Structure 1
Amino acid sequence: MEAARQIEEYTIDDIYDLPDGKRAELIDGRIYFMAPPGTKHQRLAGKLFNKISNYIQDNHGTCEPFIAPFAVFLDKDDKNYVEPDISVICDKGKLDDKGCHGAPDWIIEIVSPGSKRMDYYIKLFKYRTAGVCEYWIVDSMEKCITVYDFEHED
């Protein structure tokens, strides 16, 4: 019997090769599968997105918000691909038809029961090291928003 080939690092191509409807993110070559968001999650994401969009527009801002699913290629390599719940990009040069190439200025993740470890640990470290300026973790179960201001940390 032939041993199964073990792939140690996946690439963005592997994400795009997944069957339709299969949601996943890629962080440092490792695939993390995601469950579809629930109704409460989607309502909250929509409300936050609308508030941010309106604020930017009302203040004649140049940044642009995006709601998931929206592709963010965090690093120049092919080992990182995420779909944050909300991404705000101020550098239009990072945007093309595929998504955002490089770190967004602001990312918001809404915690789901199955995403706590991912949002509070794995993504926190990745977003910080990739150059995201600000990261919010919105935890409706705990009624808490945790704000990480990486741009102004000591």
Structure 2
Amino acid sequence: MEFARKGEFYVMTSQKQGSYTIADIDALPEGQRAELIDGRMYMMASPALSHQDILIWLSVEIFNYIKSHKGKCRVVPAPFGVFIRKDDRNYFEPDISVICDRDRLDERGCHGAPDWVVEIVSPSSRRMDYRLKLPVYKETGVREYWIVDYARRQVSVYLLQESDTPRVYSFTDTIPVAIYGDFAIDFSQLLDYLI
């Protein structure tokens, strides 16, 4: 297999591009991760430390809220498979998935759209998160989509069933979580955690 680097992602360059399936994802060597969008394979590079710090911090914040409210939703950080269109040509690994319908879950991943997805972007992964994944998340029924941008210190919140225009917050804001009426995340605490 041959790859061309596209920021954090590697795109398959073979003639097969556009016809990859989940079987090709399953056949990758141990430790290699990739996503599929309409049969196009995007290889994923290892994340940076700041990415992982944000991933852990947010996952814990969400988990603690759900646990303290005895909620039925599950929060699952990457790597975790989302069979977003329930076909064999689309497969995502969101940074954080919140799934409230537990019937969608099995040991392989989530079958269908999570209720809430968080992607943590770097400058090199913007195209993937803003342009390629956004319409798929909207089309498949993701209710809330957050793009956390460490470089810009901002969070774009898409309420996909209401509007295509995001609400943009800074890392000093307290951001309400729309799928819960009484939950908001104070991102100023993240800055304290990162320093």
Q: Where on the TM-score scale, by shorter chain, does this alignment land: which range?
A: over 0.9
In 1, Cα distance between the equivalents of 2:163 and 2:150?
Answer: 26
Report the more deviating stretch, 124-133 or 48-57.
Answer: 124-133
Matched residue SS, 1:127: helix
Structure 1 partner of 2:162? 152
Aligned pairs for 1:1-154 within 5 A: 6-7=15-16, 8-153=18-163
In 2, Cα distance between the equivalents of 1:122 and 1:97?
Answer: 26
In 1, Cα distance between the equivalents of 2:144 and 2:43?
Answer: 24
Q: CA deviation at 1:112?
A: 1.9
In 1, Cα distance between the equivalents of 2:15 and 2:77?
Answer: 34
Structure 2's unaligned 5+ residue stretches are 1-13, 165-195
> What TM-score do you get using the length of structure 2 for normalisation?
0.74
Q: CA deviation at 1:152?
A: 2.8
Q: CA deviation at 1:114?
A: 2.2
In 2, Cα distance between the equivalents of 1:103 and 1:90?
Answer: 10
Deviation digits for residues 91-127 of structure 1 (CA, Å, limit 9, x no counterpart): 0000011010000000000002321110111011111
Matched residue SS, 1:115: helix
Matched residue SS, 2:41: strand
Which protein, 1 or 2, shows the higher relative CO under an 8 Å CA cutoff with sep ≥ 6? 1
| Structure 1 residue identity aligned to 2:15 | Q
> What TM-score do you get using the length of structure 1 for normalisation?
0.93
| Structure 2 residue identity aligned to 1:94 | R
Q: CA deviation at 1:153?
A: 3.2
| Structure 2 residue identity aligned to 1:70 | F
| Structure 1 residue identity aligned to 2:116 | W
Matched residue SS, 1:135: strand
Q: Which structure shows the higher strand fraction? A: 2
Aligned residue pairs: how many?
150
Deviation digits for residues 29-50 of structure 1 (CA, Å, limit 9, x no counterpart): 1001111111110011000000
Q: Percent identity?
A: 55
Matched residue SS, 1:40: helix
Q: Is the 8 A contact 2:138 2:161 kept in 1?
A: no
Matched residue SS, 2:118: strand
Q: CA deviation at 1:6?
A: 2.4
| Runs of 4+, deviation exceeding 3 Å | none
